[in-house]
A = this chain, B = another copy of it.
């Protein structure tokens, strides 16, 4: 097979060629990923982020991309690259991020998070599933095509940012000022996921996000708890306000919170009906005994995809070490992530939250925003979805599970709404047991290699 030949090449023979190249390079493809994972890049603390940005640009340069970097708002670099194909007038934009979540609780990792290791067919390390595995799989897919071709089947643009795990706070500045440069026919968003049986999920949207830290200080330091009858306790004040923010029936009681929620359409619900989702297996992989409200099947998926959330991601006040310490804490802090659905707007929810806190007598609480992202949706009729679906059938032997939206968040709305590039998530190296954002994050090595094949074939089919 030659990708630069003029005669048409069947998808089947293209796949065979790709498969043999991936097989031949499997050792080096795995090493490339391990090297990239070994470089810390924790955007929450800054650990290693700058070095990882340089490494990211190096990966693109190595593939022949013309690269440039930007620092919107002075933050970590956005790496941009472009690689033109004279064979095709079509352009795909790729989006990834090179930053990762913090590693704590460190003592729950079985292997050091930045010393990637393969154990029983699984590669462990921070970022292997989110999102370094996807990024390097794409690089390897391009490399695989280049092995056989002097020319790519489709022009590529690539944006790799370093602030995604912090809510891509400054990315909008970059996209707004470079909307034209980012122009493309479609955008392949960062990786989606395989279901527990190894069948790919496609996601045609993302939820929005508002991430806040609410901090309350009631005294200049902790006090002996003998004073508890007469002095305020910030942990109690937060508890009382939180209990009114969301009831134990999961209803969010911030005034006007649900006002802009778009109800799922019939087409949306029909897509859910087609999705293969093993409740029991997902429960096992997530390590929970039951789903909230005892939900199952399509009702469970509807809740997952179409419900906005108000989630306590962290609560800290007073003494949390071993044994006892009898104090009234001087401060309390809660971190909350709200996942939003169309047409909720993070800034509007922030204002409603502040109003709610005032109404609860917490006007003096400090609210710090660590992330605001709009929800996004792309139509299932977008052509790249077809190419990725065809490639999916070839590589995995099954139709993909096509979801109206991912239930996680990414800055997809920036690309959809500002750069006007419809974005989809159609490639996967991770699975529900990957422990994203948690200790022992991992992927299967086989999923990684198949992901490379699927990406290469998607590029080929879309360009043909």
Contacts and interface: CB of A to CB of B under 8 A. Distances in A.
Interface stretch (A74-82, A286-294, A446-454): A286-294
Given A231-B286, A243-B239, A318-B335, A324 B167 contact: yes
A101 interface: yes
Given A221-B287, A228-B309, A315 B325 contact: no
Given A248-B240, A436-B224, A324 B337 contact: yes
Contact of A315 (B43, B166, B318): B318
Interface string A233-244: 101110110111
A300 interface: yes
Interface in A385-415: 406-409
A102 B321 contact: yes
Interface stretch (A258-266, A268-276, A326-334, A346-354): A326-334
Interface residues of A, number: 93
Nearest to A44: B323
A225 B321 contact: no
B313 A318 contact: yes
A281 interface: no
A10 interface: no
A435 interface: yes
A303 B223 CA distance: 17
A291 B371 contact: no
Interface string A352-376: 0000000000000000001100000
Contacts of A317: 312, 314-316
A230 B320 contact: no
A7 interface: no
A268 B91 CA distance: 85
A230 B104 contact: no
Interface string A72-110: 000000000000000000000000000001101100100
A226 interface: yes
Contacts of A220: 287
B314 A231 contact: no
Nearest to A45: B322
Nearest to A436: B224
Given A231-B286, A286-B231, A320-B333, A327 B437 contact: yes
Given A219-B288, A230-B300, A335-B318, A309 B225 contact: yes
A141 to B, nearest CB: 25
A312 B232 CA distance: 11
Nearest to A290: B232
A104 B320 CA distance: 10
Given A240-B243, A242-B239, A314-B325, A435 B221 contact: yes
Contacts of A407: 226-227, 229
Nearest to A213: B324
Given A221-B438, A311-B233, A45 B287 contact: no
A282 B351 CA distance: 37
Interface string A199-229: 0000000010101010000111111111111
Contacts of A409: 226, 326
A246 interface: yes
Nearest to A305: B229
Interface of A: 43-45, 101-102, 104-105, 108, 130, 165-167, 207, 209, 211, 213, 218-233, 235-237, 239-240, 242-244, 246-248, 250, 286-288, 290-292, 295, 300, 303-304, 307, 309, 311-330, 332-333, 335, 337, 339, 370-371, 406-409, 435-440
Given A166-B323, A227-B407, A231-B288, 20 more contacts: A101-B326, A165-B324, A207-B226, A221-B435, A222-B438, A223-B286, A224-B438, A225-B313, A226-B409, A227-B304, A228-B337, A229-B304, A230-B304, A231-B291, A239-B242, A240-B243, A240-B248, A243-B243, A311-B326, A326-B437
21 contacts: A218-B288, A222-B438, A223-B435, A223-B438, A224-B438, A226-B409, A229-B250, A229-B304, A230-B303, A233-B312, A243-B244, A313-B318, A313-B319, A313-B327, A315-B316, A315-B318, A316-B320, A319-B335, A320-B335, A324-B335, A324-B370
